[in-house]
Amino acid sequence: MQDFELLEEGLALMGLGMGFVFVFLTVLVITVTLMSLILRRFAPEPAKPAASPSAPVPARQDDELMAVIGAALHRYRQRHRR
């Protein structure tokens, strides 16, 4: 009979521990949600960045960049052959 009592006490302790963790996590989620709502309500609006006209990159510059990258890759591959 002692084994049955130990098993019963163990299951009761497990249920108590799992219940405590569940309640704690529920309170934690509710607290974080409320804090988020409060901060959103009282926080200032983020400053919008000034609209700057972005100048399109000329095609010549893209071709030049591709040539430089190609030359760098060629030199790297020559130096690091296996």
Question: Two tokens at 2?
Answer: 């002692």
Roughly how many angstroms between the first and final C-alpha of the chain, as a whole number? 74
Average pLDDT over residues 21-46: 93
Average pLDDT over residues 19-40: 96
Q: Residue 70: how many CA atoms within 13 Å on its side-chain side?
A: 6
Q: What is the pTM of this model?
A: 0.49
Query: pLDDT tens digits, residue range 49-76?
Result: 777 666 665 666 788 888 899 999 999 9
Alpha-carbon span 67 to 60, nearest angstrom: 11
Give me the residue label for tokens 């108590």.
Answer: 16
pLDDT computed for residue 1 by the predictor: 72
- Using the predicted structure, report yes or no on whether residue 20 has a pLDDT greater than 60: yes
pLDDT computed for residue 48 by the predictor: 82
Question: Two tokens at 81?
Answer: 């052959």
